[in-house]
Amino acid sequence: MPKSYLTILIIAILIGIGLIFYFLGPFGKPKIGSNEAALIINYGETKRAFIGEVIEGMTISDALLVSAKAGNFDFDAEEGILKRIGQFEQNEKKWNAYLNGTKIGDSLNKIFIKAKDKIELKFE
Amino acid sequence: MAVAGNNMKKFLFSILFIFTIGFLFSFSAQEVQAISASTSVSVSSDDAWEDADNALGGGYGTMNTTDSYTRTKLYMNVEPDEEFQAGFRWVISIPKGSTITQAYAQFYIYDASYDNIMDEIKWYFHDGTGSPPSFSSVAGNISSRSKTSNYMVWQQTNIPIGWATTPSLVLPLQEIVTAYDVSALVLFNESTTNAGSYELRVRTRDYGSNYAARLYVTYTLPPPPVVIPTVTTDIADIASVDLSNNKATLKGTVTATGGANPSQRVLEWGTSTGSYTQSYDTGAGATGTFAYTITLTPGTIYYYRAKAYNSTGWGYGAEKRVVIYLAPGGQKVIPAAAATTTLTLNKNIAPGGTVISSTGSISCGTACLTQTSTPIASGTSVVLTPTAASGYTFSSWTGCTSVTGNNCNVTMNVNKTVTATFAAAIATTTLTLNKNIAAAGTVISSTGSISCGTACLTQTSTPIASGTSVVLTPTAASGYTFSSWTGCTSVTGNNCNVTMNVNKTVTATFNRPPDQPIPQGVSWTHCWDEELELSIPMVNWTYSDPDGDPQSAYEIKIYGLSTLDATITCPTSPCLSYAPTQGWVGNNLNWGVTYNWQVRVKDDKNNWSLWSNNGSFTMPSHAHPWVDFSWSPSPPIINNEVQFTDRSKAYGGATTSGWNWSFDFGNPPSSSLRNPTTTFSVIETGGNGVSLQACDNTLPAQGGPYCCPGSKTITVSSSLPEWIEVPPF
């Protein structure tokens, strides 16, 4: 194989690997499908993100529940008010919920979500 | 009230008064005394009446005594040429021949909207003789009774609310009194000339407001009737100087004129008893002696008597004799005094009563002012017995030898004169006091005639002069209050004012305190939604009042401590329970201690009951458990297992030792484990209920175990799509 071909092949492979990392790896930005929503848990110094399908009548509490199942963490909420996620139990800091950047003051059980919504739970 | 001929709508008010009241009058033959009488309509069904239908002779009706509406108005619609009647009843006692100087009626207008027009009110008096006419018994016969020809016309417009006074009723009333002894009056109306709708709303009876229709009459009694003169034949005088001339002076005395001075005073004589062939008229005169000297034939007995004539007739003295005897030898002598005597009775008032004598020689009726007996043998004892006429009382005697009771004893050794004095009875009334409860208090009267203590339930006064104002003052006994009066003319504060024009009855009502309350069981509040170490007792009691009065307040004492509270006002009656506040219990009651308590209750008349007997309650040895639990995951997912965790707390050294869970649509639906699991198979609208009763290990000897319930509603989530974790963004 001529050297020039080998060089081109190596470059192509590197480009392909880069593209794979860009779209699928930790450096890629996940895409939210047209019928999906996202939930981001912001622990302060770290974050976790979840996406999935939105069905009719689905609430923020439901989104947290399916995210917990996907992320293998547990949480406590009373009357739709979030008290704890994993080891992060509110004490001096509290768990606040934002929907598309707007703070939610109501019970999470009562807030319905729709496709393309972005939910963020901040421990702050 | 429209006058005749105008176009205003006319109202005809027809009123019939019948009124019964007894009046006693006093008068003497010598004086005329004005008597004023006023009275109000009474309360029987016969005291007010109306023509309930249209024409006279139609339906008559007595007033409804129980319907305040019909008792307070009289009205009817009048068609042309029809007669209508309505009115009130009074009965009044006025002697025949009295002179009416004032008479009018008053009645209270209470609704001016119906009294703005009246027309041609004619009042007629029924003669009222005999029993008082009764509306109920003579319903259809009123019109058949005689009526006066005189009447009174009343025309007045816009009669205001208040007392309305009729024009003078003197003329028709005088017409009756001139002809009759009036014992009852029927005052009523007829109108045949003015058609239309006539209405007047007045108070008829006095049922507590003193608004009953009134009748005022002032009159003077008739002068006493003229009777024949009373004459005595006196013993003839034969003076010694006349003896030689055979002359004797016959004498008589007019002791009473009979109400009219005699126009003739005559001495008549003859030589046969009862046959007087000669006479001499000494002329007119008043009381006093008159005389005439005649010439006798010695040896002949002359019979003579005195007599006098007034407008009523002749009054005669008893026959006497005079004679000049010729003694043997022709000497003239005057015989010894006759062995007979006469007894003359005088009365101060002829109609005051009758007097009869035991010998039958005196029988002086109510038309007789004086009477001289037929000759009575000297030495006879005569007893005179007086009997007072109605309205009078016998007072005293003068001239008697002795008096036994009301009787006059006279020994007839000479001619004698006695006088019986009668007095007009003073009109008196009695006041009867009733109390609803004897022991509830005392009542005394201002006149001293009523003094009803706590052992007295009813008392009738001694006679009280008519017209007297009496004030009755109640004083409640301990534990009672004075409540109200009925029957008073007016009430000032707690005092009853009564004007005694007729016999009256008043009733004082005192109020009784509520019955002594009876403690009932104690209700507890041991369990709380929040974490509280507290048990609150709620005490219960009974309430009843013998007068049916509602409860207004109560007072509680819990002993072993300071007195709990002062008076607590009842928000609604009755209030039969009380629970102290959490703060008071926390500060004052100790665990495991028994407390006695008492209650007393107050009615709305401000009377307190006695304190109840002791009730008691024992505080628990410590607080009951506080129940709480949690679950995971939260929220639970349908058809997925949920772990429940008991977080309940026990107090006083106890520990939770028993649990009783219940899960709505859970599998299992219940559990007695401390930390059970279940799986919800159905999502309930509004959440699935979970309840837990937790008990501690308090021993039964201490009343344990202590248990409390707790419950929560859990939102169970449905099955959801699966999400994935992605890199944070």
Asked whether the beta carbons of residue A52 and residue B723 sit closer than 8 angstroms, the reply is yes
- Is residue B611 a contact partner of residue B563, using CB atoms and an 8 Å limit? no
Task: Report helix, strand or coil for B135.
Answer: coil
Our count of domains for chain A comes to 2
Does A10 touch chain B if contact means CB atoms closer than 8 Å?
A: no
Residue B26 has a pLDDT of 24
Q: Say yes or no: A97 and A51 in one domain.
A: yes
User: What pTM value is reported for the model?
Assistant: 0.40
Task: Provide φ and ψ at A63, rounded to 5°.
Answer: -60, -40
Q: Say yes or no: A60 and A111 in one domain.
A: yes
Sort out which chain A residues have CB atoms less than 8 A from B630's CB and list them: 76
> Between residues B44 and B708, which one has the greater pLDDT?
B708
Residue B4 has a pLDDT of 27
Q: Say yes or no: A48 and A14 in one domain.
A: no
Highest mean pLDDT among A8-12, B139-143, B211-215, B468-472: B468-472
Sort out which chain B residues have CB atoms less than 8 A from A70's CB and list them: 722-725
Fold classification of B230-338 is Immunoglobulin-like (2.60.40)
Mean pLDDT of B103-108: 78
Mean pLDDT of B256-269: 92
Mean pLDDT of B98-104: 87
Of A49, A62, A80, which is closest to B728 when you measure between CB atoms?
A49
Asked whether the beta carbons of residue A50 and residue B723 sit closer than 8 angstroms, the reply is yes
Distance CA B403, CA B53 (A): 65
CATH: 3.30.420.40, 2.60.40.10, 3.90.1150.10, 3.40.50.720. Which one for B519-618?
A: 2.60.40.10
CA distances from B125 to A73, B83, B177, B201, B331 (A): 113, 16, 10, 22, 78
**Residues in a beta bridge with B298:** none
Mean pLDDT of B605-623: 90
A43-77 confidence digits (pLDDT tens): 999 999 999 999 877 889 889 988 998 999 988 88
Residue B156 has a pLDDT of 64
> Between residues B119 and B440, which one has the greater pLDDT?
B440
Q: Tell me, what DSSP letter sits at residue B218?
A: E
Q: With respect to CATH, is domain B629-714 assigned 3.30.360?
A: no
Q: Say yes or no: A25 and A57 in one domain.
A: no
Structure tokens at B524: 């507890």
Residues 585-644 of B with CB under 8 A from A: 630, 632-635, 637
Distance CA B668, CA B690 (A): 12
ipTM: 0.82
Q: Residue B504's pLDDT band (boundaries 50, 70, 90)?
A: very high
Chain-centroid distance of CA B298 in Å reads 80
Residue B691 has a pLDDT of 96
Q: Residue B41's pLDDT band (boundaries 50, 70, 90)?
A: low
Sort out which chain A residues have CB atoms less than 8 A from B637's CB and list them: 65
Asked whether the beta carbons of residue B635 and residue A61 sit closer than 8 angstroms, the reply is yes
Burial B200-225 (b: 16+ CB within 10 A, else e): bbbbbbbeeeebbbbbbbbbbbeebe
Q: For the ranges B137-141, B148-152, B181-185, which has the lowest average pLDDT?
A: B137-141
Distance CA B601, CA B584 (A): 22
Q: Say yes or no: A54 and A101 in one domain.
A: yes
Of B630, B718, B725, which is closest to A48 when you measure between CB atoms?
B725
Q: Say yes or no: A18 and A71 in one domain.
A: no
Domain around A18: 1-30
Please state, as a whole number, how many other Cβ atoms lie within 10 Å of the Cβ of residue B539: 25
Does A44 touch chain B if contact means CB atoms closer than 8 Å?
A: no
Q: Say yes or no: A88 and A43 in one domain.
A: yes
Architecture label for domain B34-220: Sandwich (2.60)
Q: Say yes or no: A86 and A119 in one domain.
A: yes
How many helices and strands, by DSSP H and E, does chain A display? 2, 8
Does B685 touch chain A if contact means CB atoms closer than 8 Å?
A: no
Residue B146 has a pLDDT of 62
Q: Say yes or no: A49 and A6 in one domain.
A: no
Q: Say yes or no: A41 and A21 in one domain.
A: no
Does A40 touch chain B if contact means CB atoms closer than 8 Å?
A: yes
Shared fold status for B428-511 and B629-714 = yes
Does A50 touch chain B if contact means CB atoms closer than 8 Å?
A: yes
Q: Say yes or no: A51 and A108 in one domain.
A: yes
B619-639 confidence digits (pLDDT tens): 999 999 999 998 877 778 888
Q: For the ranges A16-25, B515-524, B715-724, which has the lowest average pLDDT?
A: A16-25
Residue B19 has a pLDDT of 26
- What average pLDDT does chain B have? 78
Sort out which chain A residues have CB atoms less than 8 A from B686's CB and list them: none
Residue B655 has a pLDDT of 95
Does B686 touch chain A if contact means CB atoms closer than 8 Å?
A: no
What's A94's domain CATH number? Answer: 2.170.130.30
Residue A97 has a pLDDT of 94
One-letter-per-residue 3-state SS of B654-686: CCEEEEEEEECCEECCEECCCCCEEEECCCCCC
Task: Break chain B into its structural domains and give their ranges.
Answer: 34-220, 230-338, 343-424, 428-511, 519-618, 629-714
Q: Say yes or no: A114 and A79 in one domain.
A: yes
B526-539 confidence digits (pLDDT tens): 999 889 999 999 99
Mean pLDDT of B430-455: 92
Architecture label for domain B428-511: Sandwich (2.60)
